[in-house]
Chain A
Amino acid sequence: AQSVTQLDSQVPVFEEAPVELRCNYSSSVSVYLFWYVQYPNQGLQLLLKYLSGSTLVKGINGFEAEFNKSQTSFHLRKPSVHISDTAEYFCAVSVVGAQKLVFGQGTRLTINP
């Protein structure tokens, strides 16, 4: 079975500072990796995904993530955050060829002015 661990439940940062949200996964088979963002009282929006190819993936809103197979990690980064990035961020995996997503517990990113 697959599992996802988001190492930080909350991450407070100042506006315009860089941020990294950590995600590690466990799986005995190949997986696809995703980052979703959830704004208050809303559904999830896809930020980026890794399916294959280049391990550095660029997404929307200036976010990027790097797939590291040896460390089974898929950390999300942004070089300079804005107040509007305040939200809950979820890392998720699915087995290649399957559709079911397994989510991490989420990381609440709070941007302080």
Chain B
Amino acid sequence: GAVVSQHPSWVICKSGTSVKIECRSLDFQATTMFWYRQFPKQSLMLMATSNEGSKATYEQGVEKDKFLINHASLTLSTLTVTSAHPEDSSFYICSATPGLAAKETQYFGPGTRLLVL
């Protein structure tokens, strides 16, 4: 149980284009989802927290107009990297918490590797 999927698993795009990454909780309803960014050989950096039906809360230093997050349902959150540039190339990982019964535990997706040329 507590499976989180991400799509796509990897994406290559041209500089200036936008890329959408989906995060789905497959067997539970996720009231809260998180988006992280991970650079090679580094730890995870929290980008934002999203709650279903409300605006995402961004961490300091993360541009909310560049990284658009939508959490339209209890099983789906999306991250859109707008006008991507090479410095946005990274590994993006989402996580989800299964609601009030186990809200302290985050279950992670497999990650999406983005390469911007």
A-to-B contact residues, CB < 8 Å:
32, 34, 36, 41-46, 49, 51, 90, 94, 96, 99-101, 103-106
Binds A, one of B13-21, B80-88, B103-111: B103-111
A-B contacts at CB below 8 angstroms, number: 49
Residues of chain A within 8 A (CB-CB) of B4 are 43
Contact of A99 among B49, B108, B109, B111 (CB under 8 A): B49
Binds A, one of B40-48, B60-68, B69-77: B40-48
- Do B43 and A43 touch (CB < 8 A)? no
**Interface range, B side:** 20 to 34
- Do B44 and A103 touch (CB < 8 A)? yes
Residues of chain A within 8 A (CB-CB) of B97 are 99
- Do A32 and B108 touch (CB < 8 A)? no
Within 8 A of A (CB), among B79-100: 93, 95, 97
Residues of chain B within 8 A (CB-CB) of A94 are 104
Residues of chain A within 8 A (CB-CB) of B111 are 41-43
Residues of chain A within 8 A (CB-CB) of B32 are 99
Q: Which of A43, A46, A103, A104 lies at the interface centre, i.e. has the most chain B CB atoms within 10 A of its CB?
A: A43
Bound together, the chains give a CA A100 to CA B34 distance in angstroms of: 9
Bound together, the chains give a CA A104 to CA B42 distance in angstroms of: 10
- Do A99 and B43 touch (CB < 8 A)? no
Contact of B110 among A43, A90, A99 (CB under 8 A): A43
- B113: interface (CB < 8 Å): yes
- Do A104 and B110 touch (CB < 8 A)? no
- Do A32 and B104 touch (CB < 8 A)? yes
- Do B105 and A105 touch (CB < 8 A)? no
- Do B42 and A105 touch (CB < 8 A)? yes
- Do A90 and B49 touch (CB < 8 A)? no
Contact of B49 among A32, A100, A105, A106 (CB under 8 A): A100
- Do A44 and B93 touch (CB < 8 A)? yes
Which residue of chain B lies nearest to A49 when distances are taken between CB atoms in the complex?
B105
- Do B42 and A43 touch (CB < 8 A)? no
10 nearest interchain CB pairs?
Answer: A44-B108, A43-B108, A43-B110, A43-B111, A103-B43, A105-B43, A43-B109, A32-B104, A103-B44, A43-B93
